[in-house]
Amino acid sequence: MCDSAGGNLAAVIALLARDNELDLRLQVLIYPASDARVWHQSYDENGAGFFLPIETMRWFYNHYLGEGIGGGLSGDWRVSPAAASNHSDLAPAYIVTCERDPLRDEGNEYAERLRSAGVDVKHRQFDGQPHVLFQLANQTEDGKNLLIECGQVLRKAFEL
């Protein structure tokens, strides 16, 4: 269970697990950074404020890849899991996006990409909420609901 850049890493791990025939029970991707290849409309809509300004995203990409969004390495599926050639046979996914998040569109598109490949996907978008909703669990009702839902999907995946 990871959010943002961690959601990116978790999505990559799910692809690697499938390719190495490991039994992964569930992907929990909270507003994942899943596609650095393109500039998404939600970057423009939510990239000024809302806890994840576009300047910060550029800083992360420049330090992680040595280049910005849309650069040469951004097309590698290990950077942009959406770029993988095959998304079938992946572990079931619980994907969360937030309306006021620059990563909203790529998370929504990744959920649809997995669903189109036959992956069992539960996708939930929290309307009106920002990128850091998970960290707001003790301050907002939606943050609390997100934490509860994560617990529920994890319990179900591990039959607890």
The set of catalytic residues is 4, 101, 131
Rounded distance, CA 131 to CA 136, Å? 10
Provide the H-helix boundaries in 20-140.
41-46, 54-65, 104-116
* Strands ordered across the beta sheet of 93-100: 2-3, 27-30, 93-100, 121-130
Handedness of CA 114, 116, 119, 120 (dihedral sign): positive
